[in-house]
Amino acid sequence: MDIDFPLILVVLVFGSGLIWLFDHLFLAPGRKQALVELQRSYPDWSKEDSPQQREYRQRSDEVAREPLLVEYSRSFFPVLFIVFVLRSFLVEPFQIPSSSMVPTLLVGDYILVNKFTYGIRLPAVRTKVLELNEPERGDVMVFFPPHLNDTYFIKRVIGLPGDRIRYINKKLYINGEEVSQKMLAQLPPGRPRYRLNEETLGDAGHEVQTDMLRRNDDFSVTVKPGHYFMMGDNRDNSSDSRVWGQVPERDIVGKAFAIWMHWDSFFSVPSFQRVGSIQ
């Protein structure tokens, strides 16, 4: 069962904020008034080390004490609000869970996703409130796939609305033109199975991996308006738009732009050797 963290964060932020606001408007004035009346009952409450001051301090702590729920809300609301703003509108961390983007991204990579590159959206409901940029061919994008509407996926943007995409014999064609590839290596040495290529989409190049022992069927499709065709860089080991279809614009989360840590498992030591921008 997937946990809808954005929704939980929204509930916590607004819940703690409303509790704090309710206390400020309706409960705190009563406590302040009770404290004023207590001071009237102890005329010498301000005299240092007087019997009245000691008794006043003991009783004032009880009168002015906030309810526990209010105290927690007041303490956590600023922190939750900052996390909410950063995660919802600016940058969100994301962990790579599968090998579908090898060699660009490895299992255990921790990346940063720019949430405002493709426009500002309301958290949880995903409604776009501010238009900015559109996805470009070659972007590494995080999104909700059409078959799992509450799970983050990450793939590369291959097809824009209206593009004709064809993939045959491990060759990619866009609008009838073959995408340029240059072989970099065959792995492992000696008995190679995988081919590492540099693929160029537009002006940018990135690495892709193919399995020479796996056969590809001829796949072709035209990208629908308002949709994007996504593929993993590990072309023969990726569940992507060839399997579950095109991604509608409303399900875009953001653009992945940097690796900030690599951590294989809880029992391993985090590494920062892969820190850098994502091509």
Q: Which residues are catalytic?
A: 100, 155
Q: Are 10 and 74 in contact (CB under 8 A)?
A: no
Q: How far apart are CA 241 and CA 250, in angstroms?
A: 16
Contacts of 256 (CB under 8 A, 6+ apart): 94, 105, 111, 112, 113, 114, 140, 141, 142, 154, 278
Q: How many CB atoms lie within 10 A of CB 166?
A: 15
Q: How far apart are CA 103 and CA 208, in angstroms?
A: 6
Contacts of 236 (CB under 8 A, 6+ apart): 170, 209, 210, 211, 214, 216
Q: How far apart are CA 277 and CA 131, in angstroms?
A: 25
Q: How far apart are CA 156 and CA 210, in angstroms?
A: 15
**Tokens read off for 45:** 């409450």
